[in-house]
Structures are given as C-alpha cells and as structure tokens.
Amino acid sequence: EAMESDGSMSARFNKKEALTLRREKEKLERSLGGIKEMSGLPDALFVVDTGHEKIAIAEARKLGIPVIGVVDTNNDPEGIDYVIPGNDDAIRAVQLYVQGASAAILEGRAAAATSVSAGRSETADAAAG
C-alpha cells in the first residue's frame, strides 16, 4: 500500500510485476480486509462448515476465543464450544443460521447499549441526589 501511494511501485517494478502485485494485494484485501480494521480479538467465532474451517477453529482455541459452529453429521464437534446441529451444505439452511446469528448479535448489542445507558443515568441520579 505504501509503495502504491507514494508512487515508488512504478519506479521499482516493471508493468507486469506491478500488475501482479496489485492483483495479489486486491485478492488479499478481499479475503483479509476485515481483519485489518479490527481493533482487537473477536469475542466469538461463528463457523458454518467446521470441516472446512479447521485452521480457524484451531487458532481460536489457542487464543481462547469461544467457537460457535454448525456441525453436520459428517464433521466432528470436537473443538466447538457451542454446537448447532444442522446441515451445512444447503444454501437455505446456511442463510437461516447466519440470519439467526446476526439477529442475535444485533439484539445483544442493543441490549448492552441500553443497559450501559441505564447504568449511566442511575449514576447521574445518585450523584445529583
């Protein structure tokens, strides 16, 4: 990114090499771009296909991050803290799991924000009274 922004990429590499590097950067940005913007470790990991995401599950276990996973009959639930038994192959089933998880996350965030603001108003009332 720094070479691209200050213009040194065109001076250091020929056109083909620069194009290859840009394509590789775009590919990494698509797959890992969200990680760059994270301020810390996630509170939990939600995995739909536990058989396919074994590396992510192992990394989460090492870091002490709880793992929530949809486990099909062809996968082992070992290493998953919260197992959701279900089909991880059907698109409609995956949509259902992801929509349910995202709705629960949004609901939890709203409840946490409400309890924090209620706690602040109680503190202000106690200080005023």
Does domain 41-129 sit in CATH 3.40.640.10? Answer: no
Does residue 118 carry a pLDDT above 80?
Answer: no
Contact between residue 72 and residue 86 where contact means Cβ atoms under 8 Å apart: yes
Q: What tokens were used for 87?
A: 């089909």
Q: What is the DSSP string of 23-47?
A: HHHHHHHHHHHHHHT--S--S-EEE
pLDDT, tens digit, 9 for 90 and up, residues 14-71: 888 888 888 998 888 887 777 777 888 888 999 998 888 999 999 999 999 999 999 9
Does residue 82 carry a pLDDT above 90?
Answer: yes
pLDDT mean over 121-125: 58
How far lies 59's CA from each of 24, 83, 111, in Å?
24, 18, 29
Which residues, in sequence order, are CB contacts of 86 under 8 Å at separation 6+?
70, 71, 72, 93, 97
Best mean pLDDT range from 1-5, 17-21, 52-56, 124-128: 52-56
Global pTM reads 0.65
